[in-house]
Amino acid sequence: MTGFKAFFESFVFVCILIEATPGPNMAYLAIVSLTRGRYAGLFAVAGVALGLSLIGVAASFGVATLVAASPYVYHALRLSGVLYLLWLAWSAWKGETERPAIAEACYSDGLWCFFQQGVITNLLNPKAWLFYVTILPGFIVSAEKASAQALVLTAVYVGVATLIHGSIVFLASSIRPFLETESHMRLVQRSMAVALALVALWLAWETQ
């Protein structure tokens, strides 16, 4: 029992380290929370959680392994993810007042738009898929019940990620009232857009 507890704690610690490292989710959630508010950020968190859960379920049935093993599928996923992040960065850069076509949907569809973006951001994130292929299997202790264990570990990972993502939303949205003028908001929004674009370029380099 003690060994299992230590094993479980090690997995939770790894999850915290991974999610606390700046990446696509952190940058995207910060942008949404700063520019659209707490509720939009929480809807985005729910979308991120669903995206991570779907990948985890796929991984438990071997789909993630097939993605990682196929160079064409992997690079298609990688390129799509990078382009989508750049798309989000450009939308944030353009800002609320200009309302480009890619951002218009979030005004007409409401908060669910951010939920959908959260799902897509993770489904197109190659690092999320690689986590389930390279890191999570190392914590499976029995080959006979590998799928069941993978699902349990997925639930733990998504739970840890959601807590951290929720904290980012509350922290970023709490700063929002201090950005009293449109010029201040635009400066922060464009700074976060640049950060998200840099994350996209880093992701392209890191996963090549």
The candidate with the shortest Cα–Cα distance to 22, out of 200, 150, 145, is 200
Give the integer Cα–Cα distance in Å for 204 and 208. 6
In a domain, 144, yes or no: yes
Question: Which segment of 26-40, 105-119, 120-134, 156-170 scores lowest on mean pLDDT?
Answer: 105-119
For residues 66-75, give the mean pLDDT. 70
In a domain, 98, yes or no: yes
Instruction: Dig out the tokens for 161 from the structure.
Output: 């990620």
At 42 the pLDDT is: 94
Examine the pLDDT at 183 and tell me if it is beyond 90: no
Instruction: Give the residue numbers spanning the domain of 111.
Output: 34-206
Interhelix angle 112-123/71-94, rounded to 10 degrees, is: 150
In a domain, 4, yes or no: no
Please, what is the average pLDDT of the chain? Answer: 78
At 97 the pLDDT is: 39
In a domain, 27, yes or no: no
**Structural domain total, the chain:** 1
In a domain, 158, yes or no: yes
pLDDT in tens, 89-110: 787 777 643 433 334 455 556 7
In a domain, 192, yes or no: yes
Let me know: does 190 contact 93? Beta carbons within 8 Å.
yes
Examine the pLDDT at 165 and tell me if it is beyond 80: yes
Predicted confidence band at 65 (pLDDT cuts at 50, 70, 90)? low
In a domain, 161, yes or no: yes
Examine the pLDDT at 46 and tell me if it is beyond 90: yes
Residue whose token pair is 């190392």: 138
In a domain, 131, yes or no: yes
pTM of the model: 0.76
Helix (H) / strand (E) element for 64: namely helix 63-69
